[in-house]
Amino acid sequence: MNKSETLQHLRENHVRFIKLVNGLPDSDFLFSNHGKWTAGQQLEHIIKSVSPVNLALALPGFVLRIAFGKANRPSKTYEVLVEKYHAKLAAGGKSSAPFIPKTVSLQQREKLLAKLQQLVDSLIARADELSEIQLDNRILPHPLLGKLTLREMLYFTIYHVEHHEKQVLMNLASQRQPVS
């Protein structure tokens, strides 16, 4: 996926997630089944995940190089990155402490949705300033996947919000299942 396609998918997936969470009735926004995260907590988790990527893209390239090094391999494809993420989850991988959401109230919904929209807009603008080469040469650490190129981190960000959108929908579907 080239930069333009990547940024388009990044925007589309986050807009879809924001619309889903924004359109939920209050009871669905707060619903949790067997300790699963509520839609509000999924929203906060996505914000906690996008924020450091957005911040990293604001830093000069030399700072990233000093802090994390330089890519020593080509970027993985979107599909390969998603497979790697699924493998890590299947092996028991979970969110680390900084990314685990607290309780989210109804009163926080509007503010959190606006914050996520602002973060995604900023992330896209910052990524758009980078060249295809910079996306493949600069790296960032991911708590579960290890060092990723910026392109791979954007791929992860695209998939990650989709993954959590599915989590919201599965959680809500569980409340509508008939009890046997």
Mean pLDDT of 66-92: 97
pLDDT of residue 34: 84
pLDDT of residue 118: 98
SS (H, E, C) 77-126: CHHHHHHHHHHHHHCCCCCCHHHCCCCCCHHHHHHHHHHHHHHHHHHHHH
What residue segments make up the domains of the chain, in order of their start?
A: 3-175
pTM for this model (two decimals): 0.94
Q: Which one, of 127, 10, 150, 7, lies nearest residue 76 by Cα?
A: 150
What CATH fold (topology level) applies to the domain 3-175?
Four Helix Bundle (Hemerythrin (Met), subunit A) (1.20.120)
